[in-house]
Structure 1
Amino acid sequence: MGGTFREQLFFVMLCLSVLKGHARYMEENEITPEGLFSLLNSELKREIPEEFIYSRPLRCLDMVAAEGQFTFTADRPHLSCAAFFIAEPNQVINVEYDSVDIDCRGGDFIKVFDGWVMKGEKFPSSQDHALPLMERYIDYCDSGTVRRTVRSSQNVAMVFFRVHTVGSSFTLTVRKPINPFPCNIISQTPEGSFTMVIPQQHRNCSFSIIYPVEIKIAELSLGHLNDFPIKKSMPGCAGAGDFVELLGGNGMDPSKMFPVADLCYNFNGPAQMKIGCDNTVVRMVSSGRFVNRVAFQYRLLDRQELQRIKVNSVEDFCFTG
């Protein structure tokens, strides 16, 4: 696992996309560390009085972790721009167009993506999102005044935009309403705790931690009985219908990640594992027949722990301990 890519994902909230090509639906974008940790950190914990609306310019490559108004004004042609939006795990993101002055007919556009796209990989994956891929892109130039507010399905969203003419501008208002049943989350922090609940819904939910971490499962309740029959010939929990799996890898898409462990029996923990991957994911698969719940804690591994589990691991790509 290359150090350069680990650095890129370790600071993923600080890394912004340099988009390539002129495709209408841009999916192949490179990630380059831009050293914006101080930017995200300052916005993440900002205390803003309710009566005051925070506002600032929007950059061509940006990370937004605060509610408020964000205005982009072109000082030159900007052909490949992207802004990453992130909220708390129990929130979703509302992007509202306040004012737009761009030339749609001339090739300008503003496009909201329901999730994040990095190096062609998407979070949530297509397996875990309710909408088909193309329906996750909402283009202002296609919808115009018909749809002036776009709401994400999870705590992250992106805005792609292209503006050719100097002086053209647009203003977005970003709000973060509460989501009573959070699903598909990117963690803002390298340590914390979370309880994921799927209330009798046929869906898959992932919690992504973009750090090498130790995971402690404190509780797993899958609704079915502990003696739920699973044939031994079946690999892992594939026949259970309802289960939790731990994944690791060096990208964003859970469907392309390495399976580390799967759990398909109820228990009260702790069950713990150290995963030395750039990205660690707790993913719950639900058949919709039961109320499923998993509670877990996570913390960042230090350098010594990473080195120790790497030495003891038979896996070169993603090591566990």
Structure 2
Amino acid sequence: MPFGFAALQQGHLLLLLLFLAALEAQSRYLEVGDAGDEEPFLLLNAELKRELSTEGQFYRRALRCIDMLSIEGQFTFTANQPQLHCATFFIGEPEEIITIDFDFVNVDCQAGDFLKVFDGWILKGEKFPSSLDHPLPTSERYVDFCEDGRIRSSIKSSQNVAMLFFRIHEPGNGFTFTIKKKPNIFPCNVISQTPTGRFTMVIPHQHRNCSFSIIYPVLIKISNLMLGHLNSFHLKNPSTGCGGVGDFVELLGGNGLDPSKMFPLADLCHSFNGPAQMKIGCDNTVLRMVSSGKHVNRVTLEYHQLDQHEMENRKENSLEEFCPSSI
């Protein structure tokens, strides 16, 4: 399934762009907010994709203070003035993980510079994957150059997204890193690059929770669900849900990034051959699979971004009313 940013609509970049704000100087766990005039997602356009398609070309360019990278290559940041609130978002295909190799680092930790890699995305205090779905505690999801005294030869993400936070005071200081991508046989937590797509998630006898996040209002269709144990689909009632079932899928919606802070919309407690279709008008829609490790669980979903007509034309299975701006 091809993934790219050519179909992005600027209005639906708000989920991330509204969260790009200044990094707190003394914060142990960093977050990002207002990016000012920079819009990193707009850098990933069709022209750049075509430029990178040249066979045998190794891509190099300067890194911006606020940036988004979806391709392999070497990137260099050199401060021409104090840069105090910088972050880079990395995103790959759903079936990829990201490796970051630092080739050169010249930062002054004693002067207050820092350089940190985060395993996932963290925006305005909300994380993806959530703390409930990632195998490591939040503190261990950071690799901190200034604390460790050196950068590991290769930093590897657990999913298709990662982040770099940095602050540099002295003009002329900076760093260079190389991005590579590697296949992930069983992708677990994924942020979709595109507003339209198809994806199959498989969890093979593993006790873990996996989320597929779509940062658009979408029509989502689940065409197949195999949970290792037979047929039910119902709107979620907080007092019931899937009860004691150890393996299930839930649909979540909200206007933030962290699945654990989203509104529960529906539970899928038993296997079925679909389609089961729902229209969800939230800024962010998440399909989350909870697995006990006793079965091989599998779900296939298709989705497309709701257009204005679909947003206005509510149907019985529309859940857009569950996503007020207060969520």
Fold match, TM over 0.5? yes
SS at the partner of 2:111? Answer: coil
Q: State the match for 2:26 in structure 1.
A: 23
- Alpha-carbon distance between aligned partners in 1 of 2:33 and 2:188, rounded to the nearest angstrom: 26
**Which AA in structure 2 matches 1:289?**
K
| Aligned with 1:192 (options 184, 189, 197) | 197
RMSD over aligned Cα atoms: 2.7
Conserved 8 A contact 1:73-1:167: yes
The answer on whether the counterparts of 2:189 and 2:210 sit within 8 Å (CA) in structure 1 is yes
Q: Give 1:308's match in structure 2, choosing from 291, 297, 313.
A: 313
Name the stretch that deviates more: 112-121 or 50-59. 50-59
Q: Measure, in 1, the Cα distance between the counterparts of 2:33 and 2:303.
A: 28
**Paired residues, number:** 310
Q: CA deviation at 1:196?
A: 0.3
Cα offset for 1:169? 1.3
Gaps in structure 1 of 5+ consecutive residues: 1-5
SS of equivalent to 1:105: helix
Going from structure 1 to structure 2, the CA distance change for 1:300 and 1:192 (only over 3 Å counts) comes to same
With over 3 angstroms needed to count, the CA separation of the structure-2 counterparts of 1:141 and 1:20, relative to structure 1, is: closer
Given the superposition, is the C-alpha separation of residues 9 and 160 from structure 1 closer, same or farther in structure 2, using an over 3 Å criterion?
A: farther
* 1:96 equivalenced with 2:101 (yes/no): yes
Q: Are 1:220 and 2:228 matched, yes or no?
A: no
Contact 2:19 2:32 in 1 (8 A): no
% identical aligned pairs: 57
Q: Secondary structure at the match of 1:268?
A: strand
Question: Alignment partner of 2:148: what SS?
Answer: helix
Q: How far apart are the structure 2 equivalents of 1:314 and 1:276? A: 4
- CA shift at 1:13, angstroms? 6.5
Q: How does 1:37-186 map to 2 (within 5 A)?
A: 37-42=41-46, 43-44=48-49, 46-49=51-54, 51-145=56-150, 147-186=152-191
TM-score, reference length from structure 2: 0.87
- Asked if 2 retains the 8 angstrom alpha-carbon contact of 1:109 and 1:162, the reply is yes
CA positional deviation for 1:237: 1.0
So what's the TM-score if we normalise by structure 1? 0.88
Q: Does 1:317 align with 2:320?
A: no
Query: Do the aligned residues in 1 keep the contact of 2:256 with 2:284 (CA within 8 Å)?
Result: yes
Are 2:324 and 1:283 aligned? no
Cα deviation for residue 26 of structure 1 reads 3.9
